[in-house]
Amino acid sequence: MDLAYGPEYQAFEAEVSAFLEANRDRWPPAVGATREQVLAWQKTLIANGYAARTIPKAYGGYGAEVDILKSRIIAEAFTRAAAPGGLAGQGINMLVPTLLDVGTEEQKQRWIASTLAGETVWCQGYSEPGAGSDLASLRTHAVEDGDDFLINGQKIWTSTAKQADMIFCLVRTEPAAPKHAGISYLIFSMSTPGIEVRPLKTMTGAAEFNEVFFTDVRVPRSQIVGGRGEGWRVANTTLKHERGMLGDPNAAESRLAAIIAMMRAETVGGERLIDNPVLRDRLMQLQARVLAMKFNGLRLITSQLADESPGLAALIVKLQGCEINHQLAAMAIDVLGELGVLYEDSPHLRDHGVWQHRYMFDLGLIIGGGTAQIQKNIISERGLGMPREPKTVEG
Amino acid sequence: MDFALSQDQKLMQASLAGTLDRACPLERVRAFAENREVVATDVWTALTDLGVPGLLIPEEHGGLGLAVLDAALVAETLGAHVAPTPFLGSAVLAPLAILAAGTAQQQSRWLPALAAGEILAGAAIAEGISGARDGAGVRAEAGRLTGKALFAFDAEQAGVILVADTDGGLWLVAGDAPGLALTPLTNIDLTRRLSELRFDATPADALAQGDIPPLLTRLRDVAWTLLAADMLGASEVMIAKAVAYAKERRQFGRVIGSFQAVKHLCAEMAAELEPCRALVWYAAYAQDAAPAEASLTAAHAKAHLSEVSRFVARTATEVHGGMGITDLLGLHYWFKRVGADRQWLGGPERVRHLAAVIQGLVAA
Ligand SMILES: Cc1cc2nc3c(=O)[nH]c(=O)nc-3n(C[C@H](O)[C@H](O)[C@H](O)COP(=O)(O)OP(=O)(O)OC[C@H]3O[C@@H](n4cnc5c(N)ncnc54)[C@H](O)[C@@H]3O)c2cc1C
């Protein structure tokens, strides 16, 4: 065990910090950033290797060798400086790695660079009204018609579908095959005729996701990723990327730091909130959990470097990471008390209402990307070797 | 950066586990507990062959000269075996104190004998860490100690006992010193021994006064870390036992491990405990390699493992049904072990208060 980074990495760490300091005036503001500011920052980050770092130059990335330590140093330095990181989202985090894995050369050329630059926004069309946790029972179907697929059906809970230019979508192409073997992965434009998007307002008050209806949507057969009937396998490579993204310990660490700062600054009846022993005890409990997940992250990196299977240490990340983030938001609104229920543009609102928003939004993250219960199934079956649920006749 | 155990550490842990499987199976633990033995000499001798008593003692004094991280791996393995050993007093607290603050003469008098397992050491430092109860407190005057100390570790057959006085001074007292009376305190955890010490103008040998407050802090931090490691090891075994039982026991024509309610209990235990391993490793590593983080990570390891191991202990018991609470199954040895680790040297609420103090969020 040796947690020092070594001279090469220390120099790199200094380089990242110096970059962030020197470019402070280009950081998009945390709230109310314009699209131009965000895209310009993304461009700067890619040019310097702080976003899309290991993606080949030919596809619009920075083209560095994979170096997990450097990636981590970047993430840590951004967290420490509270600097806005590169763009995230389903296109960059899920579609791009999938295309890199299994896309054709033409698909890579066509989509990766514009996605990384933030010019092409994607949505993920997996879930359906009848296929949530049991995703493989999805029924939206595509039939061949000349050089095209003709798609009919409905998706739901599709985040950012309203803003998206493109969708990566699971559809049933082989109705006679067993359910996992009958699915294909298609990518197509959201402006294709026959697509209707109906926003679904969530409890935060915003329409964070949508219903998407397909009526005779015509998509060229070349826009399949992987082969026919291979969609389940292709999608699973993407889900792996999604779960890593959802449990990120760096996010939890900076939220914890923000709560500590708030508890030191805010007073009730003249008493600092940090001096309230009950709240402080709760804060310390959360700090222990955040630290444990951070150190668990170090363990994961080391096992990745050594090419060892991380086992349980990886399987628990989505469950624990999302739970801790939600608890942090809950802690923050409890610390704020009555101020913690103010919202939107209310006077006395703190931090632009971000904690109230997160308290609701982060509950969605516990559900999305594989619910907590599904995570526990995975942990017990793959991590502890317990038996799978007996199959019912219906399924 | 390398956040993993070395090959040597893995081997050491495996050979220790092998030794304990042979020298300290559950029947041996049960005999120790039921007969109220004071020291399991056979077990300690087996561990002495591996160098455990001298783990933290430098080679020049006959020890292995290893680090707190290695001691944490030992503690984890001892916890896994609910091993009845005077590890904390003899192999950790007394040697660390003597090493840090003893004169050359004190070191050569005690360290080689401790490393060789020829004598045992106790430690009566609880009041200085978790606070005094029932009027406890030891006053020092002109090289003599008067008063009482509760919750002393491993003191009953100790050749030497480390004692903290109410001013934060540290002393060495011979086990047979005049004016020293000892009363065993019956613990729910019968795998380790606690006692109350009464001093009446008992002659004592001072450890260098200069560095004392930081030394007591270091002893506290190391002890917290090792208690956390003990809970980690004990909790792992409780989960493994629950999972194994769930894969075997049948009800309603299926193994109970195929019921989702049972699977999810097991998944929750694993999900809570798994990050604890990294927390304990990090805290243990910090004790030697990252002094600025040593106190905070030790506090969090101690408090968090106290909570997680309590959850694991009750849940693993539940998974076993009625069998879980029987003496016959013996799961209660692990259940009680983590119960004791939780309270010793401060329960989680006190330790979390100190965690806030340590990082300057509030005054002490
Ligand atoms: C904020 C948010 C954003 C999302 N974004 C997208 C998106 O962009 N694209 C997309 O395709 N989907 C998206 N989803 C959908 C998400 O993947 C599904 O909501 C999720 O997989 C659960 O499916 P469901 O909602 O149908 O719930 P169900 O599957 O109906 O689950 C309901 C309850 O039953 C439990 N349950 C179900 N099956 C089991 C089982 N086998 N064992 C134990 N318990 C079970 C669940 O844990 C849950 O508590 C999003 C969801 C949210 C909340």
- Residues of CATH 1.10.540.10 domain(s) within chain B? 7-115
| Per-residue pLDDT tens over the stretch A37-91 | 999 999 999 999 999 999 999 999 999 998 888 988 999 899 889 999 999 999 9
Pairing of strands B137-141, B144-153: antiparallel
A150 Cα: distance to centroid of ligand 1 (angstroms): 27
Same domain, yes or no, for A256 and A225? no
Q: Whose CA is nearest to atom 3 of ligand 1?
A: A368
Partner residue opposite B300 with nearest CB, options A288, A313, A385: A288
Q: How many whole angstroms separate alpha carbon A146 and alpha carbon A220?
A: 9
Q: Do B278 and A320 touch (CB under 8 A)?
A: no
Average of per-residue pLDDT across A270-280? 97
| Residue A358: inside a domain | yes
Exposed, middle or buried: residue B59 (CB in 10 Å: 0-12, 13-18, 19+)?
A: exposed
Is A122's C-beta closer than 6 angstroms to any atom of ligand 1? no
Same domain, yes or no, for A174 and A276? no
Same domain, yes or no, for A267 and A317? yes
Residue A5 pLDDT: 84
Same domain, yes or no, for A26 and A69? yes
| Residue A395: inside a domain | no
Both tokens of B164, joined, read 């903290």
Residue A327 belongs to what domain range? 247-383
Q: Do A284 and B281 touch (CB under 8 A)?
A: no
- The domain covering B121-206 belongs, at the CATH homologous superfamily level, to Butyryl-CoA Dehydrogenase, subunit A, domain 2 (2.40.110.10)
Domain end, chosen from A87, A113, A131, is at: A87
Q: Do B361 and A390 touch (CB under 8 A)?
A: no
**CATH of residue A223:** 2.40.110.10
Same domain, yes or no, for A375 and A284? yes
Residue A247 pLDDT: 67
| Residue A116: inside a domain | no
pLDDT > 80? residue B12: yes
Q: Do B279 and A288 touch (CB under 8 A)?
A: yes
Q: How many whole angstroms separate alpha carbon B212 and alpha carbon B170?
A: 7
Chain A residue with minimum CA distance to B242? A384
Phi-psi region of A3 (alpha: psi -120 to 50; beta: other; left: phi over 0): alpha
| Per-residue pLDDT tens over the stretch B34-85 | 999 999 999 999 999 999 999 999 999 999 999 999 999 999 999 999 999 9
Express as a percent the part of chain A with pLDDT over 90: 85
CA distance B346 to chain A (A): 14
Q: Do B352 and A284 touch (CB under 8 A)?
A: yes
Q: Please, which pLDDT band fits residue B205 given cuts at 50, 70 and 90?
A: very high
Q: How many whole angstroms separate alpha carbon B254 and alpha carbon B80?
A: 30
**SS3 of B202, please?**
strand
pTM as predicted: 0.95
Same domain, yes or no, for A186 and A256? no
Long-range contacts formed by A268-275: CB under 8 A, 24+ apart: A268/A337, A273/A335, A274/B356, A274/B361, A274/B362, A275/B362
B342 Cα: distance to centroid of ligand 1 (angstroms): 38
B7-115: CATH, from 3.40.50.150, 1.10.287.3510, 1.20.1050.90, 1.10.540.10: 1.10.540.10
Is A373's C-beta closer than 6 angstroms to any atom of ligand 1? yes
Q: Which residues in A lie closer than 8 A to residue B270 (C-beta atoms)?
A: 312, 316, 379-380, 383-384
Is A371's C-beta closer than 6 angstroms to any atom of ligand 1? yes
pLDDT > 50? residue B272: yes
Domain end, chosen from A87, A113, A142, is at: A87
Partner residue opposite B263 with nearest CB, options A4, A296, A377: A377
| Per-residue pLDDT tens over the stretch B136-163 | 999 999 999 999 999 999 999 999 999 9
Q: Do B297 and A291 touch (CB under 8 A)?
A: yes
| Residue A374: inside a domain | yes
pLDDT > 60? residue A226: yes
CA distance A39 to chain B (A): 33
A368 Cα: distance to centroid of ligand 1 (angstroms): 5
CA distance B218 to chain A (A): 20
- Cβ atoms within 10 Å of B172's Cβ, excluding its own: 22
| Per-residue pLDDT tens over the stretch B100-142 | 999 999 999 999 999 999 999 999 999 999 999 999 999 999 9
Residue A390 pLDDT: 79
Q: Which residues in B lie closer than 8 A to residue A316 (C-beta atoms)?
A: 270-271, 274-275
- Residues of CATH 1.20.140.10 domain(s) within chain B? 212-358
Residues ≥6 apart with Cβ < 8 Å to A347: none
Mean of all residue pLDDT scores within chain A: 94
Same domain, yes or no, for A370 and A261? yes
Q: Which residues in B lie closer than 8 A to residue A373 (C-beta atoms)?
A: 264
Same domain, yes or no, for A131 and A192? yes
| Residue A359: inside a domain | yes
Phi, psi of A266, rounded to the nearest 5 degrees: -80, 140
Q: How many whole angstroms separate alpha carbon A333 and alpha carbon A359?
A: 8
Which DSSP string do the residues of B7-66 spell out, in sequence order? HHHHHHHHHHHHHHHHHS-HHHHHHHHHTT-S--HHHHHHHHHTTGGGTTS-GGGTS---
A364 Cα: distance to centroid of ligand 1 (angstroms): 9
| Residue A241: inside a domain | no
Taking the alpha carbons of B104, B107, B109, B112 in that order, is the dihedral positive or negative? negative
Same domain, yes or no, for A254 and A373? yes
Which DSSP string do the residues of B111-150 spell out, in sequence order? HHHHHTTSS-EEEE-THHHH---TT-EEEEETTEEEEEEE
Q: Do A390 and B254 touch (CB under 8 A)?
A: yes
Q: How many whole angstroms separate alpha carbon B297 and alpha carbon B67?
A: 16
Residue A395 pLDDT: 47
Same domain, yes or no, for A74 and A132? no
Q: Whose CA is nearest to atom 27 of ligand 1?
A: A132
Q: Which residues in B lie closer than 8 A to residue A389 (C-beta atoms)?
A: 258, 260
Instruction: Please give the single-letter amino acid code of residue B297.
Output: T
Length of chain B: 364
Candidates A204, A360, A371, A388: which one to mutate for ligand 1, based on the most atoms within 8 Å of Cβ? A371
The residues of A annotated as belonging to the active site are 242
Which atom of ligand 1 is the closest one to the Cα of A371? 47
Same domain, yes or no, for A224 and A319? no
Count of domains for chain A: 3
Q: Do A288 and B289 touch (CB under 8 A)?
A: no
- Residues of CATH 2.40.110.10 domain(s) within chain B? 121-206
| Residue A21: inside a domain | yes
A356 Cα: distance to centroid of ligand 1 (angstroms): 22
Tell which wins on pLDDT, B168 or A105. Answer: A105
pLDDT > 50? residue A25: yes
Taking the alpha carbons of B286, B163, B358, A292 in that order, is the dihedral positive or negative? positive
**CATH of residue A297:** 1.20.140.10
Domain end, chosen from A201, A229, A257, is at: A229
**SS3 of A122, please?**
strand
Express as a percent the part of chain A with pLDDT over 70: 97
Q: How many whole angstroms separate alpha carbon A263 and alpha carbon A275?
A: 8
Same domain, yes or no, for A167 and A282? no
pLDDT > 70? residue A241: no
pLDDT > 80? residue B212: no
Mean of all residue pLDDT scores within chain B: 96
Candidates A322, A376, A382, partner chain B, best to mutate (most B CBs within 10 A)? A376
CATH code at B212-358: 1.20.140.10
Lowest mean pLDDT among A258-272, A289-303, B103-117, B197-211: B197-211
Phi, psi of A197, rounded to the nearest 5 degrees: -110, 125
Instruction: Please give the single-letter amino acid code of residue A235.
Output: A
